[in-house]
Structure 1
Amino acid sequence: MSEFNNEYRIAQLLAQKMTGELSSEEEAELHEREKNSLSAIELDNRIQDPENKRQRDKFMNQLNTDSSWKKVERHILERKRKSRHLTWWSSAAAVAIIITFTYILIPESQPVETPPLPVAEAKTGSSKAILITPEGKQFSLFQQDSSQTLELGNGLIAINKGNVVEYMEFSTLPSHPKNKNNIIQVPKGGEYELILPDGTHVWINSDSELSFPLQFDSTKREVSLSGEAYFAVTKDPQRPFTVKLSEGVEVKVLGTQFNVQAYPDEKTIETTLCEGSVNVSDGTKETTLTPSLQAVYSKTDKNITTRKVDIRLYTSWKKGLFVFENKPLEEIMTTLSRWYNINVFYANQAVKTYHFTGDLERYGDFRKALGMIEKATSIRFVINGNNIMVEEIPTK
């Protein structure tokens, strides 16, 4: 078993060497271990020797593959945070070496019947979400042909109407404190419409979460958003409607239509007004928007600025379109990754700055969408299941 541990350690050190993370001490260790390691033939003979089966199986059982994968994932994320020059293949090399070595430890004389791993494909998003009650009860929401009544408990009900869920308003909620919230979580590759108890419509985009009370009180209506949503707020002068976002940013209205993009991994929070007026504040500064104005809060500068925009660029997702105008490829691929639930890798940093202008059908074929971008730019996409490598086409 010690021989197996030695070879496994060599694989780990080689992976570190390929990713440029091998210290001088570890390089010396690698050199020493390689001198004393078994040859490929010797290792194969030792593995196939029935006398070593018990030791081999014991060693294999000690390998915690789940833990190894989690470490690799943490490693990749940490490298991404620390360096802008990490390439996809260098991170994957560590995984490939470990998997390859683990695989050769399974003897050919006793083949293991393992079903082929399913290859995920990039698929168009659909109406789906998870509804979570204050008590932790969960309901899966998805598009369906007939209405479904959701018994939320304590007399509360909601109606799931295919791709929209509607809450019923009650005059009193004796068994529910008003500060208790329900949560709708929309995963990547999903979207869902919500009708709040006051009649307000909310279209929730992919990879987003909305928290809202079981019943609005008599003086205010407050919800919390992480991600992106389009609001069509029912007018009620006696009860202002407030959307609470990260960084202390709030959007306050009486009745209007607007779009909010507030993803945790984005550098800005954008509020785009379609009609009516809204106030956007961060606790220290407040600005009032009129139609076609957008408020941009910078998480870096901690400041709010306004600009006039084409609202179609920020709201067409609700109508089944992606509309991009001179957008960097990195931003475009981030948007597409949320809807198609794909993983995007870049062969080099330069391709991220390529710009694209055009309309893509939100429910169209994914490969067709990528093909349109390829025709307009000097890049190509290498598709492997739901993993996409973006490469620059070399000039001749």
Structure 2
Amino acid sequence: MTEKNHYIAVLIAKYLDNSLNEAEEIELTAWINAEAHHRDLFEQMTDPEQLTTHLQQFYTYDSDKISRKISQHIPEFNAEPARIRPVYLRKWGWAAAIAMLLVGGSYYWASRLHNRPAVIASVPVNIEPGKQGAILTLSDGREVVLDSLHSGIVANQSGASIVLSEGQLVYDPTTTGNMDVQYNIMTTPAGRQFQVTLPDGTNVWLNAASSIRFPTSFAGNERRVEITGEVYFDVIKNANKPFIVAVKDKLDIEVLGTSFNVNAYENERTIRATLINGSIRVGVPSTDHKKAVTLQQGQQAGIINSKITITDNQDPEKILAWKNGLFNFDGANLEEVMRELERWYDIEVVYENGIPNADKFIGEMTRQIALTDLLDILKRFQVDFRVEGRKLIVVNR
């Protein structure tokens, strides 16, 4: 089957399961409206009675094996469906999705498009995309896992209430005075991202495999935080108290009030600070302060071996794709893409027989896509993969 047909099969399965996001719904609608036979096929595949017939035909290829695999995931598969249409569709939607995604059912649907015998292929258990979540390490060493907590007060420290609200952490400095300043660390493991509002009202977004160390209140004449990984800042303006972002001993960014993104992963060759709005001053701590540079909107500072290089005309949509729930691979090479997948899907990438000489990648897509489906898209760039557990093997043929 073609990769396009496989992708459409996935979208239809997600439609049946009521799990399409907005972008996927637009893609599926465009495909349906493109040609009359597309609409006919869609109606066949989403009609409960015909779907039942198709699945029963699908079982004839290896009914015992496939039924066992499906029943492991949905024991109620053979139960009498409800009479209410939406519930009925959801039940069969799960069956169709599992048939297509776990036991190769999408090859069956593709074979109907081409009127040729189906070929059943083994499909590995899929690896789901990352999600919201983080670990808050308090100053006394206690760790609070935020993934599964309900909204409410997480802790009280030095006159500040730490509140989890609508999937983000908010510091509310309810009292003032001579309270001791304490430092906490927010960490997003691989496969997680999170948002926190600091005591001064500054909003911070952490990409996967990132961290920020910050105080419970900003005392003194500056607001200083330390980060690793990739972090986006929307800083509250305070002319009397500049905001300082430190990347270990490699980079200091001084801000009054602005929005900017910092990418400082240890396994990336270059630290990148990109200004979205306002103005920031970028300097390397180990060098003369006079060598610090001021960025204007749209500029990016790249730091390699304590040397700063300025690049103009950066695309903010590309820089902030991760924050907006997207992958943007425009101009990225294979290794850059694989490092991003490692962080988002919490996997290990291994190159078999060396690194393939693949073309530069292009395109933008949702980050809320299962790994197997994403790999099907990336294969269009003449790269082969296989998945073994949580290990992604890139095959160099």
CA RMSD for the aligned pairs? 1.9
Partner residue, 2:79: none
Residue 304 in structure 1 maps to residue 308 in structure 2? yes
Partner residue, 2:267: 265
**Compared CA separation, residues 266 and 166, structure 1 to 2 (3 A):** same
Q: Which runs of 4+ in 1 moved over 3 A?
A: 152-156
Partner residue, 2:253: 251
- 8 Å contact from structure 1 (residues 231, 258) kept in 2: yes
- Give 1:355 shift: 1.8
Partners of 2:125 and 2:210 lie apart in 1 by 22
Segments of 5+ residues of structure 2 without an aligned counterpart are: 1-123
Residue 361 in structure 1 maps to residue 363 in structure 2? no
**Compared CA separation, residues 141 and 307, structure 1 to 2 (3 A):** same
Residue 163 in structure 1 maps to residue 167 in structure 2? yes
- SS of alignment partner, residue 318 of structure 1: coil
Residue 139 in structure 1 maps to residue 144 in structure 2? yes
- SS of alignment partner, residue 388 of structure 1: strand
Segments of 5+ residues of structure 1 without an aligned counterpart are: 1-118
The structure having more radius of gyration, on CA atoms, is 1
- Give 1:291 shift: 1.2
The amino acid that maps onto 1:204 is L
Q: Which deviates more, 162-171 or 275-284?
A: 162-171
- Give 1:381 shift: 0.9
Map 1:1-396 onto structure 2 (within 5 A).
Answer: 122-142=127-147, 146-153=150-157, 155-172=159-176, 174-176=178-180, 178=181, 180-283=182-285, 284=287, 285-299=291-305, 302-308=306-312, 309-351=314-356, 354-375=359-380, 377-392=381-396, 394=397
- Give 1:235 shift: 0.7
Partners of 2:223 and 2:387 lie apart in 1 by 45
Number of aligned positions between the proteins: 269
Partners of 1:326 and 1:383 lie apart in 2 by 25
**Compared CA separation, residues 126 and 143, structure 1 to 2 (3 A):** farther
- Give 1:172 shift: 2.5
- 8 Å contact from structure 1 (residues 123, 341) kept in 2: no
- 8 Å contact from structure 1 (residues 127, 143) kept in 2: no
Partners of 1:240 and 1:357 lie apart in 2 by 38
The amino acid that maps onto 1:240 is P
Partners of 1:387 and 1:126 lie apart in 2 by 19
> Deviation digits for residues 259-283 of structure 1, max 9, x if unmatched?
0011122221100111111111003
- Give 1:293 shift: 0.6
TM-score (norm 2): 0.64
Task: Give the percent of matched residue pairs that are identical in Structure 1 and Structure 2.
Answer: 33
- Give 1:120 shift: 8.3
- 8 Å contact from structure 1 (residues 241, 253) kept in 2: yes
- Give 1:365 shift: 2.1
Partners of 2:249 and 2:359 lie apart in 1 by 30
Partners of 1:252 and 1:155 lie apart in 2 by 27
Q: Which deviates more, 304-313 or 267-276?
A: 304-313
Partners of 1:290 and 1:185 lie apart in 2 by 30
